[in-house]
Structure 1
């Protein structure tokens, strides 16, 4: 063999075993949640930055949250890829039927015993595979999972305002520095709006439209910050929500639901959470389950379920935490137990099949197609997409990558494949080199 040919072949063979620097790069991921952002909130407001995102990335027509359409259950489904009956975060309130304990929503965010039920969230799964993760106010991020904490977790203080636009921008700057200066791989960022405005004023109020404009300006600021930190080519961003919002029908237009008119709660129930929008749970006293069920079946504008008879599509019946009786109000009707204490003008917690409960999905970055409109899908499928983007092996989950992979611009290394930084480059690169080698051999054979 000629010396020149030997050197060429040797170089090609060595190249086959070396990773290509581009293939070896793992992109970062930012997941942002705007609480209570209904799927159509940007359709009656001028939102130039969200519109530009649709042109520069991916937009889903809408997303269906899990039953229950509430903040903590829905967020934990997104970050674990598990149905509510599997991850067992079954309410915004932490509760104990035996002791009548009820812990307010923001207090639960640091109570690991409420979140740690065996379903591993993405932060922990990623950390166990060598990645660095952070949670900025995201529900579940402040808990420990089998003693393991998120690398960095910030919790919002009680009473802290959710709508400070200056602070929103400061939070983005902080997150960008985590990516660019501290090399975090995954950050989840939570904003409490437009949920608060939707509850207080209703989804049709002008103040809701103004908070959407503020969110749009924040998206514009986010994109500027990504450019400033030189993350445009390495950071994927997913923007999501947990549930929608609907107008609550108040007196004198309709009769309020007061459950105690139909059954004596003091006599028949040992535990209840009923004054909480459109979703209620109740534990009858021993031997009283059928009596409670029959009485509630006569209440207008609600549907009552025995837990073991809940439709399979709800993915709630297998829960060990849920009490025996589950009540779901018709869209726009709120539950009251003994008397009217309810003040919200907008709410959620209703059936996830209702369009008012649907949410948004936007995504952009180096891994996503541009100007791609996705068909609707369930939020549970976001989890395997995030694992694909991070190139990690998912924990057990109920989602399917087939629901989202068409929105990806290029092949991301599958989570089940070895890391390209340690295994010698992509399959496509090795195939190309092999073809080149065969061509060279054939040329020199002719010569």
Structure 2
């Protein structure tokens, strides 16, 4: 009996480690805003994962449309390639294309490390050595401006020795009311301890659109939930008496795919000669021996149907995903990209979701994301054309006065279009 009791206890302990999620707020001690930074504006950057550019109008997200109507809205925002979650969230806060930041996909292989990165592996996600560039919160903290994160890709990692002063490890157990309360509490801290840059993340639309398709009642329900939650957040923030700027974005859009007739692993691929990575929209082959690249590439070209085959050296330049852009040597030697609405069944999954993203946003408009912004820093009742998401980095840097010296891909064009610029009096 004791033997079985011990076994049961061991299983309970193991189970608690697997299913227990960290819901505590983490605070880096002994940090303060400088007197100069205390005078800076406030920005809350909100991401609704998978919130396609047309979802607000399609599903009557009236609060978002009203708030955007009071400030700035874009016809759409163009994600970086591949149009998937981790690379694009990081592109928004680093100003770097995925190929330049090193976060080239949700999952990929690193040749030098001989390791795989995956968004599903907590130890990899929390390891700052995987992330190139400097996210906005790193630059802010370096410049003695405090930051906070209620989730964002890489916010749990130590990058350049820095994390946000206040942050939560990603989990889906904390309800929206307590998340809003945490943001308000941050903004009610004394000026020296108050964060000026806050990130906030919603996963719900992405989940619903993947499992049910983008044009589904389940997706509509989650769009309305986020619309209500953002409205409650901005109303709660208003009670602090602070003039806060809001930037609402998504990482990518979503489209319905042919999940009934997926593409299998092509016969030309010898799995013993390549490390295979990717998902249904982008398959990457990493050669164990470079001599095998061209033979396999030519064989794939001959048998390709419903997908394109590229070498890293000849992929279309506008994707910024070729050899010249591969700053961290993490892009595959051979890349397979399906024609919309086709997807690969790379891992012989029994069920393939009807909703997907990852396609080239220049070719598939459904990949485009949302962008709305309102607050004292923004012009009123302004609609702008589509722009690349890496420029959100420059926009927020401009509002907060965050300086950056490293090379980035974003430009100041967006900031120059949408921000209210103070006019300086001419001196005689």
* Alignment TM class, shorter chain as reference: 0.7 to 0.9
Output the CA distance in 1 between the equivalents of 2:378 and 2:245: 8
Output the CA distance in 2 between the equivalents of 1:399 and 1:134: 23
* Counterpart residue number, 1:178: 186
Report how far residue 338 of structure 1 moved. Answer: 6.4
> What are the within-5 Å matches in structure 2 for residues 220-369 of structure 1?
220-231=231-242, 234-251=243-260, 255-260=261-266, 262-267=267-272, 269-274=273-278, 276-286=279-289, 287-297=291-301, 298-317=303-322, 318-319=325-326, 320-337=329-346, 339-353=348-362, 354-369=364-379
Instruction: Check whether the contact 1:37–1:193 (CA below 8 A) recurs between aligned residues.
Output: no
What's the CA shift string for 1:37-91, capped at 9, x where partnerless?
1001122212220121122111000000001111111111110111122111011
| SS in structure 1 of the partner of residue 310 of structure 2 | strand
> What are the within-5 Å matches in structure 2 for residues 105-124 of structure 1?
105=120, 107=122, 108-115=124-131, 117=132, 119-124=133-138
Output the CA distance in 1 between the equivalents of 2:246 and 2:68: 13
* Counterpart residue number, 1:42: 56
Q: Classify 1:369/1:106 alpha carbon distance in 2 versus 1 (closer, same or farther; 3 Å).
A: farther
What's the CA shift string for 1:173-197, capped at 9, x where partnerless?
2112212324111011111121111
Report how far residue 249 of structure 1 moved. Answer: 0.7
Moved more, 98-107 or 127-136: 98-107
Output the CA distance in 1 between the equivalents of 2:165 and 2:377: 25
What's the CA shift string for 1:392-439, capped at 9, x where partnerless?
21243111112332211333xxxxxxxxxxxxxx843xx4xx66xxxx
Instruction: Check whether the contact 2:398–2:415 (CA below 8 A) recurs between aligned residues.
Output: no
Output the CA distance in 1 between the equivalents of 2:222 and 2:39: 37
Output the CA distance in 2 between the equivalents of 1:284 and 1:328: 18
* Counterpart residue number, 2:17: none
| SS in structure 1 of the partner of residue 221 of structure 2 | helix
Instruction: Check whether the contact 1:32–1:237 (CA below 8 A) recurs between aligned residues.
Output: yes
Q: What RMSD over aligned residues (CA atoms) do the two structures have, in Å?
A: 2.3
Output the CA distance in 1 between the equivalents of 2:285 and 2:348: 16
Q: Classify 1:104/1:121 alpha carbon distance in 2 versus 1 (closer, same or farther; 3 Å).
A: closer
Report how far residue 146 of structure 1 moved. Answer: 2.6
Instruction: Check whether the contact 1:278–1:332 (CA below 8 A) recurs between aligned residues.
Output: no
Output the CA distance in 2 between the equivalents of 1:394 and 1:383: 10
What's the CA shift string for 1:185-243, capped at 9, x where partnerless?
10111111211111111111110001011111112102211221212xx2111000111
| SS in structure 2 of the partner of residue 33 of structure 1 | strand
Instruction: Check whether the contact 2:148–2:166 (CA below 8 A) recurs between aligned residues.
Output: yes
* Counterpart residue number, 2:22: none
* Counterpart residue number, 1:126: 140
Q: Classify 1:337/1:223 alpha carbon distance in 2 versus 1 (closer, same or farther; 3 Å).
A: closer
Q: Classify 1:102/1:132 alpha carbon distance in 2 versus 1 (closer, same or farther; 3 Å).
A: closer
| SS in structure 2 of the partner of residue 29 of structure 1 | strand
Output the CA distance in 2 between the equivalents of 1:183 and 1:241: 26
Aligned residue pairs total 381
Normalization by structure 2: what TM-score?
0.83
Instruction: Check whether the contact 2:107–2:116 (CA below 8 A) recurs between aligned residues.
Output: no
What's the CA shift string for 1:277-330, capped at 9, x where partnerless?
211111234221112212322221211211122222111222111121122212
Output the CA distance in 2 between the equivalents of 1:273 and 1:347: 17
Output the CA distance in 2 between the equivalents of 1:76 and 1:101: 18
Q: Classify 1:85/1:300 alpha carbon distance in 2 versus 1 (closer, same or farther; 3 Å).
A: same
* Counterpart residue number, 1:418: none
Instruction: Check whether the contact 1:94–1:104 (CA below 8 A) recurs between aligned residues.
Output: no
Output the CA distance in 2 between the equivalents of 1:28 and 1:371: 21
* Counterpart residue number, 2:227: 216
Normalization by structure 1: what TM-score?
0.80
Instruction: Check whether the contact 1:332–1:347 (CA below 8 A) recurs between aligned residues.
Output: no
Instruction: Check whether the contact 2:134–2:160 (CA below 8 A) recurs between aligned residues.
Output: no
Which entry has the higher C-alpha Rg, 1 or 2? Answer: 1
Instruction: Check whether the contact 1:77–1:379 (CA below 8 A) recurs between aligned residues.
Output: yes
Q: Classify 1:328/1:207 alpha carbon distance in 2 versus 1 (closer, same or farther; 3 Å).
A: same
Report how far residue 264 of structure 1 moved. Answer: 4.1
Report how far residue 136 of structure 1 moved. Answer: 1.6
